[in-house]
């Protein structure tokens, strides 16, 4: 706990210095990139469990992963397994994607805790993230759970390829986990490549008709808590009307290019009330597990509408 508090004090100091010298000068349109799909409907809490109490119990002797370890590289960890109903989907076809989290006894887990660090909305107990293996097309979804432990969420994968799905959750009495599994969409597949970019839309891309631009600042240092800042502008002016969403004023998701290791990114803010507003900068912190290039996806909300931006950032010294 002392280490965590020290990290937060360091981040607060860096944030204070950053805001003190913040002078946002947005140029002409930065161009446009692909969207970060989000689900911004209120999350319903899981219904009460009415079945066998044994299905609620965490695996005995299960220990959580080391916080420095990469996340989402396996479908099983600490006795829990991410089990989708199907792993084969059809491109550009809306479907209901369903899955369960099972314990070491193979029974579905039905009791989950809310996530710490204000990463989810109040009462939210599960996040499902889906991204293609070339780190394109991130979707951040909020599934709901049936009494039998089956989680479901509407899902549309817009193109063929292999997609990585992550379930981020904390079973009651167990460790916080992020488990991953592949989903397969048959068809012709043309991968994207993403040059390093800290602005969205990226330079040289078509202008975004909305006029919004986002810049990400901060260095990713492997194994060290790193501060990140997303700064939002609109046609050359700083935006100060960011609305609460997903427990903060924005949500960051990060994956490492190559193996698609999933990295949690924490908002550095007190959970806001519905009438609070913020901007132009939103502060986050994260610890990337190793050197490499990371895809960063940020979602935010303005005038009741969810918006998104994405970036490609290499670790310091890479």
Domain end point (choices 185, 214, 229): 185
Q: With 90 as the cut, is the pLDDT of residue 17 above it?
A: no
Q: With 60 as the cut, is the pLDDT of residue 222 above it?
A: yes
Q: With 60 as the cut, is the pLDDT of residue 67 above it?
A: no
- Say how far apart CA 191 and CA 135 lie, in whole Å: 9
Is the domain of 219 the same as that of 106? Answer: no
Which SS3 state, helix, strand or coil, does residue 144 take? strand
Q: With 90 as the cut, is the pLDDT of residue 37 above it?
A: no
CATH number at residue 258: 2.60.40.10
With beta carbons less than 8 A apart as the criterion, state whether 138 and 144 touch: no
Q: How many domains does the chain have?
A: 2
Is the domain of 249 the same as that of 293? Answer: yes
**Residue 18, domain extent:** 2-36+193-314
Mean pLDDT of 100-128: 84
Mapping DSSP onto H, E and C, the string for 237-292 reads: EECCCECCECCEECEEEEEECCCCCEEEEEECCCCCCCCCCECCEEEEEECCCCCC
Is the domain of 20 the same as that of 75? Answer: no
Is the domain of 217 the same as that of 302? Answer: yes
Is the domain of 51 the same as that of 179? Answer: yes
Is the domain of 79 the same as that of 158? Answer: yes
- Say how far apart CA 96 and CA 73 lie, in whole Å: 24
Is the domain of 106 the same as that of 221? Answer: no
* Residue, of 289 and 3, whose pLDDT is higher: 289
The verdict on pTM exceeding 0.85 is: no
């Amino acid at each position: 706990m002392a280490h965590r508090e020290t990290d937060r004090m360091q981040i607060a100091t860096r944030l204070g210095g950053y805001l003190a010298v913040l002078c946002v000068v947005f140029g002409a349109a930065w161009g446009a990139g692909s969207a970060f799909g989000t689900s911004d409907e209120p999350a319903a809490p899981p219904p009460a469990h009415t079945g066998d109490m044994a299905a609620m119990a965490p695996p005995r002797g299960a220990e959580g992963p080391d916080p420095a370890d990469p996340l989402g590289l396996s479908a099983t960890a600490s006795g829990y397994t991410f089990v989708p109903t199907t792993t084969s989907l059809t491109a550009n076809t809306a479907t209901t994607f369903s899955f369960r989290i099972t314990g070491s006894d193979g029974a579905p887990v039905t009791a989950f805790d809310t996530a710490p660090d204000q990463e989810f909305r109040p009462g939210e107990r599960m996040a499902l993230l889906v991204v293609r293996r070339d780190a394109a097309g991130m979707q951040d979804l909020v599934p709901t759970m049936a009494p039998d432990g089956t989680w479901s969420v509407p899902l549309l994968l817009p193109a063929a390829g292999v997609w990585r799905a992550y379930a981020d959750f904390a079973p009651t009495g167990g460790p916080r986990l992020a488990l991953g599994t592949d989903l397969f969409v048959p068809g012709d597949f043309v991968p994207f490549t993403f040059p390093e970019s800290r602005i969205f839309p990226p330079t040289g891309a078509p202008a975004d008709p909305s006029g919004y631009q986002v810049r990400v600042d901060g260095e990713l240092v492997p194994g060290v808590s790193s501060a990140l800042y997303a700064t939002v502008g609109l046609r050359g002016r700083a935006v100060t009307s960011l609305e609460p969403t997903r427990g903060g004023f924005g949500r960051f998701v990060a994956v490492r290019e190559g193996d698609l290791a999933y990295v949690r990114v924490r908002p550095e803010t007190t959970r806001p009330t519905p009438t609070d507003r913020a901007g132009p900068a939103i502060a986050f912190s994260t610890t990337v597990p190793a050197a490499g290039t990371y895809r960063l996806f940020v979602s935010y909300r303005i005038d009741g509408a969810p918006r998104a931006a994405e970036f490609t950032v290499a670790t310091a010294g890479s």
